[in-house]
Amino acid sequence: MELKDKVLELLKNSDPLKSGEIAEKLEIEKGEVDKAIKVLKKEELIESPKRCYYSAK
């Protein structure tokens, strides 16, 4: 499973999270999460309900 898939799955099953919180829960570096979030936003699979928080659409 790709990192972006793991991030998307986590966001589907939780309240909106910050990228640092996602990194902590998945036990990976925040920079890697930021890259995955960028891809997911481009693919329109996630949204940002408020600044710096992300959730699945």
> 33-53 burial by CB neighbour count: b if 16+ within 10 A, else e?
beebbeebeeeebbeeeeeee
In this prediction, residues 38-53 reach a mean pLDDT of 96
Dihedral (CA of 42, 44, 46, 52) sign: positive
In this prediction, residues 31-56 reach a mean pLDDT of 96
Structural domains for the chain: 3-56 (1.10.10.10)
- Whole-model pTM: value is 0.91
Residues 6+ positions from 15 with CB-CB distance below 8 Å: 55
Model pLDDT, residue 1: 81
Q: Which amino acid is located at 34 in the chain?
A: D
* pLDDT tens digit sequence for 14-38: 999 999 999 999 999 999 999 999 9
